[in-house]
Structure 1
Amino acid sequence: MTAPPLDTEALRRRALDALLAARDRTRALTTCVDDRELTAQHSPLMSPLVWDLAHIGNQEEQWLLRTVGGREALRPDIDPIYDAFEHPRAARPSLPLLPPAEAHGYAADVRGRVLDILENSPLEGGSRLTHAGFAFGMIAQHEQQHDETMLITHQLRRGPAALTAPAPPPAPADAALLPAEVLVPGGPFTMGTSTEPWALDNERPGHVRDVAAFFIDTVPVSNGAYARFIEDGGYDDPRWWTEAGWAHIREHGVTAPLFWRRESGDLWLHRRFGVTEPVPPDEPVLHVSWYEADAYARWAGRRLPAEAEWEKAARHDPVTGRSLRYPWGDADPGPGHANLGQRHLRPAPVGSYPEGASPLGVRQLIGDVWEWTASDFLPYPGFAAFPYKEYSEVFFGPECKVLRGGSFAVDQVACRGTFRNWDYPIRRQIFSGFRTARDAQVL
C-alpha cells in the first residue's frame, strides 16, 4: 500500500513559519542587551550569547545552505569555532568569536539564502533529509533549542531585567478540587513515533511497550509542596538521597532549589530574570536537579515515573487504544493547551490548562516545566542515528537522565508527546521540575 501524497505546500508554509518564528525569538533574545552583555560569559555553564547567535547561523549554513542547497560555503573558516563538540562552554569566550554586529549580519545573510532554497526545494521523495521538509524542521528546532539555552543564560545573568512578558492566567476554579493522582491502567501502548515527519532520531522508531498500572500526580509538584520537604529537613537527611546525590549536595552546599533564598522565617524569595520576588507557592517547582527531584519523591513515599510511564500518561487514549501526538489529541498546541514559546516567563499555576489535559485527566504534561523521569537516556529498539551521531547517540548511557514535556521556554516546534530531552542529574540551571508516581496495588 502506497503512502498518500504529501501536501508539500502546507509543509513549506509550516517550515517557513517555524524558521521565521525562531529567528524572531533569537533577535529578541540578542537585541535586548548591549554588546558587552552579549560577549560576556554569565556562567561557566553557558556560552556567551554571541556564540549561540553565530552557532545558529553556522548550523543553518552547514545543513541547509551547503548540504540541502548545494551552495558554496560562506564562512568555512568559522566552522571549527562554532563546533559545539570541539569546545566546551567554559572555553568559548577565549575563541576568536564573531563580534555582535558581524554575527547578526552573518546569520541574516545565511537566512536570506536559505529561504530561497526552501522556496525551490522539492519536499517529497528525494533524500530522507529533505523529505517532508525534515532538514528545515530540524534547523528550526535547533534554533529554538538554542533560544531556550539563551533564555537560561538570561536567567543566570546579573543585573536589571532585560526581558518582559505577561504573567500566565490564574489557575481555573477547579484546580483546587483536582484529585492528587490519576490511575494509568496497565497494558501495552505505542511509545515513540515512526510517522511524525520532524521527529528527531531519539524519538524513533515507534514501538510497543507494556507498562504495569501505576498512579501519577495530576499536576507537577508545586513550590509549596517542595518547601514542606525543605522544612522537614529533607536536605539534611541522607535517607532520601542516592549516594551520589547526597555527596553532591554536601559538597556544593545545596539546600534549596537554585535561585531560592530564605528571607526570614518561612519566607522564601527567588530571583527570576532580574527580579527578586516571593516564591509563588502554587507554581510548579523549578530549577531542581534530578537528585533533588528523586529525594523529594522518596520523602513523599513515592518515586519518579519511568520515561515509558510518563509517555503513556501523556499520550495513551484508553478508549481508542491510540497514542496521541499530544495529551489533548493530534492538533498542534494552542494558547489554551499549554504554556509554551516564552509567551510567559514563568510556569503557570498548578492545575492550569484544562484544555490540555490527557484523556485520563493529567494536566500540564506539556509546557511549564521539563519533568525529570527515573530513566537513563537510552536508544529505542531499532534506533538509527540520523542525520548525525552527535545529536543523540553520543549521550546514550547512565550518565544522563531523561526529561519530558517541555517548559514555558520551549517552542511548540521542539515539543511534542514523543520529544525526549536529557541532562546530567546535577543540572539545575535548566527549567526543570517534576511530578511523582507510585505503583498501583495489584489485588
Structure 2
Amino acid sequence: MTEAAIDLDFDGEAFRERALASLLTARDRTTLLTTCVAEPELTAQHSPLMSPLVWDLAHIGNQEELWLLRAVAGQDALRPEIDGLYDAFEHPRAARPSLPLLSPEEARRYAAEVRGRALDVLESAAFHGTTRLTEAGFAFGMIAQHEQQHDETMLITHQLRKGPPALIAPDPGPAPLLTGPAEVLIPGGPFTMGTSGEPWALDNEQPAHQREVAAFHLDTTPVTNGAYLRFIEDGGYGDPRWWTPQGWAHIQRHGIDAPLFWRRDAGQWLRRRFGVVEPVPPDEPVVHVCWYEADAYARWAGRRLPTEAEWEKAARHDPATGGSMRYPWGDADPGPEHANLGQRHLRPAPAGSYPAGESPYGVRQLIGDVWEWTASDFLPYPGFTAFPYKEYSEVFFGPDHKVLRGGSFAVDPVACRGTFRNWDYPVRRQIFAGFRTARSGAL
C-alpha cells in the first residue's frame, strides 16, 4: 500500500477495531507506568524538566475528555474546573507540583470514568462521511497517540528518578553480524516527502510534497557508544573546533563532558539506566545526547547530521518504484522483527539489529531504538494547515526546535511512522535521542 494507494473507503469496522486496540494498549502501558511505584513517587517531581507522574495521568484523561467526549460526542464537561490545571501551555512543568492537582486515586478514577464513556462513544461513532475529526477514526487515533507520547514522557521521568529499579523488561537479543558497508549511498533526485493519505497522520506530517535531494552517504546504523567514546577520548568535549558557539557555551556553562547518565569510575565508563548502574555497552546506539553533542561528533568525524529530507528519503523512498513507503521495510505495520518499539525493551538494540527492517538502500534501525537528531529546524511543509488545534505543531515552528526522526524503544508503533516528526530544543538530553551521520556527494 503505497502513499498514493492508501484508501480511506475500506470497512470502518477495521478502523474501529484498530482504535479500540490502540486505546487499550496505551492504557495498559499508562497503568504499568503509574502503578510500579508508590504514591509518593507519583506526586514527587523527579526533575524540574518533567511533570509529576500524577499530572501526566490526569492530563491524559483530560485530553481524552476534551476531544472524545466533548468535541466528538458533544457531552457536557465532567470536571471543567480542572481544565486549566492540565493545560500544558498554562503552567510550565517546573511549577506543576505546586498546583492543586488530583491525587493519584482521584486521577485514576477520573481517567477511568472518561475511558469508559469514550469506549461507548467509539462503539457507535461513524467513521466515514462525517467530520474531519471523526473520518477514519482520526480523533480516537490522535488520543491513542497522545497517550503513548505521554507514556514515553513518563518513561523519561522513570529514567530520571533516583532509587531502585521499578520497571523490568527483557534485553534485546544480540545483533546479527553486519557484513555490509558502514555507510550507503542515497542517490540524488526527487521523492515524495510527508503524507496526504495516512489516516492518523498528524498535521505536521502533511501534506505530501515533492523534495529534491542531492546524492549523499548515510551511516548504515546509528552512531554507537563505542564510536562516541572515541570522540570523548580524543578530547572532543574540550575542543571548541567541533562545536557551534551556542553548543560550546552550553557545555562549558553546564560542565558537560559525556552523555547524560554516564560517569567514569576506576577507569571504566558506567551508565545509569532505569535504576541499574552498568558498564556502557559499546555496540549499542548512543542515547541521551543533545543536538549540540550530535553535531559536534559529526564535525569531529568529518561528517555532518543529515537533513530531515535526507533522513526521510533514506527511510521511505523505494528506488524500484519511485514511490514512498510507510516504513523502511514497506507498508506493513511494524512487527517485533522490524524494529525496537513499544517499550518491549528498556534499551536500544545493538547496532545492526533488525535486518527485516532494513530500507531498500540498506540502512538499518531507522525506526525504533533511538530518536535521531537531524540538521533541520522544525518548520511547516508547503501547504500546511493546523488541525485540529494550533498548539499541537504550529506554535513550535521556527529555529528554536530541531527535528528528530524515527522513534525510540520508548515509542509505540501507533505514534511512529516514516513520516512522523518529533522536535525539541537542541539542549535536551533526557529524551531517548541519538543520531547517525551523513556526508555530501556521490563519491
Q: Under a length normalisation based on structure 1, what TM-score does the superposition of the two structures give?
A: 0.98
Is 1:73 the counterpart of 2:77? The answer is yes
Aligned to 1:63: 67
Aligned to 1:231: 233
Aligned to 1:342: 343
- Write the deviation string for residues 189-209 of structure 1: whole angstroms up to 9, x where unpaired: 000000000000000000000
- Write the deviation string for residues 229-255 of structure 1: whole angstroms up to 9, x where unpaired: 000000000000000000000000000
Aligned to 2:253: 251
- Write the deviation string for residues 273-312 of structure 1: whole angstroms up to 9, x where unpaired: 0000000000000000000000000000000000000000
Q: How does 1:415-430 map to 2 (within 5 A)?
A: 415-430=416-431
Question: How far apart are residue 4 of structure 1 and its match?
Answer: 6.7
Of 6, 12, 16, the residue aligned with 2:10 is 6
How far apart, CA to CA, are the structure 2 residues paired with 1:19 and 1:381?
32
How far apart, CA to CA, are the structure 1 residues paired with 2:9 and 2:141?
19
Question: How far apart are residue 264 of structure 1 and its match?
Answer: 2.1
Give ranges in structure 2 of 5+ residues lacking alignment.
none
- Write the deviation string for residues 114-172 of structure 1: whole angstroms up to 9, x where unpaired: 00000000000110000000000000000000000000000000000000000001101
Contact 2:187–2:442 (8 Å) recurs in 1? no
Aligned to 2:131: 127
Runs of 4+ in 1 over 4 A off after TM superposition: none
How far apart, CA to CA, are the structure 2 residues paired with 1:5 and 1:64?
22
Q: How does 1:4-403 map to 2 (within 5 A)?
A: 5-172=9-176, 174-175=177-178, 177-265=179-267, 267-403=268-404
How far apart, CA to CA, are the structure 1 residues paired with 2:345 and 2:302?
33
- Write the deviation string for residues 389-441 of structure 1: whole angstroms up to 9, x where unpaired: 00000000000000000000000000000000000000000000000000014
How far apart, CA to CA, are the structure 2 residues paired with 1:146 and 1:170?
29
Q: Secondary structure at the match of 1:109?
A: helix
- Write the deviation string for residues 85-136 of structure 1: whole angstroms up to 9, x where unpaired: 0000000000000000010010000000000000000000110000000000
How far apart, CA to CA, are the structure 2 residues paired with 1:333 and 1:69?
31
Question: How far apart are residue 5 of structure 1 and its match?
Answer: 2.5
Give the paired residue count. Answer: 438
Alpha-carbon RMSD across the aligned residues, in angstroms, is 1.0
Q: Secondary structure at the match of 2:343?
A: coil
How far apart, CA to CA, are the structure 2 residues paired with 1:203 and 1:6?
22
How far apart, CA to CA, are the structure 2 residues paired with 1:344 and 1:110?
30
Aligned to 2:411: 410
Query: What is the letter of the counterpart of residue 395 of structure 2?
Result: V
Q: Secondary structure at the match of 1:215?
A: strand
Q: Identity of aligned pairs, percent? A: 79
How far apart, CA to CA, are the structure 1 residues paired with 2:80 and 2:442?
60
Give ranges in structure 1 of 5+ residues lacking alignment.
none
How far apart, CA to CA, are the structure 2 residues paired with 1:248 and 1:264?
27
How far apart, CA to CA, are the structure 2 residues paired with 1:127 and 1:159?
48
How far apart, CA to CA, are the structure 2 residues paired with 1:232 and 1:5?
57
Question: How far apart are residue 73 of structure 1 and its match?
Answer: 1.0
